[in-house]
Amino acid sequence: MDLMTAAILGIVEGISEFLPISSTGHLILTSHLLGLKHTDFLKSFEIAIQVGAIASVVVLYWRSLLIDFNIMKKVVVAFIPTGIMGLTLYKMIKQFLLGSSTIVLWSLFLGGVFLIVFEMWHREKEDAVADVSDISFRQALIIGCFQSIAMIPGVSRSAATIVGGLLLGLKRKVIVEFSFLLAVPTMLAATAYDLLKNGSQFSLDQAQFLAVGLITSFVVALLSIKFLLRYIQTHTFIAFGVYRIVLVLVWVLIL
């Protein structure tokens, strides 16, 4: 890896973290395109640079995270299923799932089909939850269960939580914003746990690569969040489903 490669991966992370297209899946496929060997460092790098994207959420939503205790409690409740599953399955996920382009491609394809079918079927109710603070603890916990599915690379944490929220009767903007907030403890916990396990093995050069990836993903994620909030005002997620399917077909047939 070099600094340019680290920056490219940071850009990919920043764009894809909050869109329903799977940042982990895109990082794995990008690494394959760049000819990178999926070493333990690269796997840790792909996890850790998500903190840059998460920092953008903190900058934009710090009031909800630090001041509104009611929202913060619900974010913590929603994190519980993923936290338990992550601790239980960490070793298996890192050894067998991360780095597998086959799993990523199947997850992207099936997830794309599901997004399209779901959006064609889903109709938002008039009494849908219209504010993040009005999400119940039960709804938060169920959304967290949906998020835990995204531990499979290519599923997309954002897509899983958004679909879960829409099924529970939340307005589109509400579940998208809650998904942003839920990403903070989820990604911080994943990164902290991985660095605790492997951080001492990083060289000085590798730390520089990580810093570049973090900064790049932070800047790009700020733009990505603002884009998504504008996009959902007049669009469904069908286009993202189509994109996922096209990406898989191009990868299989051409690359």
Q: pLDDT (tens digit, 9 = 90+) per residue, 137-154? A: 999 999 999 998 888 888
**pLDDT tens per residue, range 205-255:** 778 888 899 999 999 999 999 999 999 989 999 999 999 999 999 999 887
Mean pLDDT of 103-122: 92
3-state secondary structure at position 34: coil
8 Å CB contact between 17 and 184: no
CA 10 to CA 93: how far, in whole Å? 22
CA 94 to CA 40: how far, in whole Å? 9
Mean pLDDT of 16-38: 88
Model pTM score: 0.85
CA 61 to CA 67: how far, in whole Å? 10
